[in-house]
Amino acid sequence: MRAKRWLLLAPLLLTILLLQSYFWVPTYEKQATGNPARLVTYIEASSGDAKILNPILNADTASSGIVSLTFEGLLDLDENLNFRGRLATDWTISEKAYLFASPSNRLPDGAEVTGAGLAERIRAALQEGAFTALASNVSSVEVLPPTRRTETLSVQTQDADGNPTRGEVEVTFDVPERLAFSLH
């Protein structure tokens, strides 16, 4: 008799418990009354943690889902591996190349190599048609002034006991004058 009573009361109690949530769970119209941030936060459930977020290397479902949401959208490749726009309507593919202007070297006529002099000679040669194959690919040539740059590098050293430790070393680079070519 006790089991019969329990089997009748258990579903009734569960139904009452579920019905009471109707009075305190916000409806669609009033979902932002308690927490307005609910309207600007997007949460998507996935099958697990993303392991690799590199678009080329990802292999599991969770990683590829996150990668597609992050990287997909602007450009895509067609069947011939040519770029096609998805969201982008126009794009430019360009490349930068740098040429070091070494003052210790001399040009064939004996002149000293400077950034401005080298840029002037290259521009003149491009205009004269000396480099016909190169002229169609170079969009601009500009001189970059010499700069000094300081970087912090993490290196492995040994402590007094001979155990490996990580240390940081500040390195200062003197970047010489150079030419920047914009290629297309």
Looking at the structure, tell me whether residues 40 and 53 fall in a common domain. yes
Domain match, 184 and 102 both: yes
Mean pLDDT across 59-86 = 80
Is residue 178 very low, low, confident or very high in pLDDT (cuts 50, 70, 90)? very high
* In a domain? residue 6: no
Mean predicted confidence (pLDDT) in 121-129? 88
- Answer yes or no: do 102 and 60 share one domain: no
pLDDT value, residue 170: 93
How many structural domains is the chain composed of?
2
Output the pLDDT for position 58. 76
Contact in structure between 115 and 179 (CB atoms under 8 Å): yes
| Domain that includes residue 182, residue range | 92-184
81-106: b (≥16 Cβ within 10 Å) or e: eeeeeeeeeeeeeeeeeeeebeeeee
- Distance between first and last Cα of the chain: 87
Q: Do 120 and 184 belong together in one domain?
A: yes
Considering only residues 180 and 91, tell me which one the structure prediction assigns the higher pLDDT. 180
pTM of the model: 0.49
From the list 155, 156, 153, the residue with the least C-alpha distance to 170 is: 153
For 72-92, what is the mean pLDDT?
81
Of the two residues 147 and 135, the one the predictor is more confident about is 147
Region of residue 28 (phi > 0: left; psi between -120 and 50: alpha; otherwise: beta): alpha
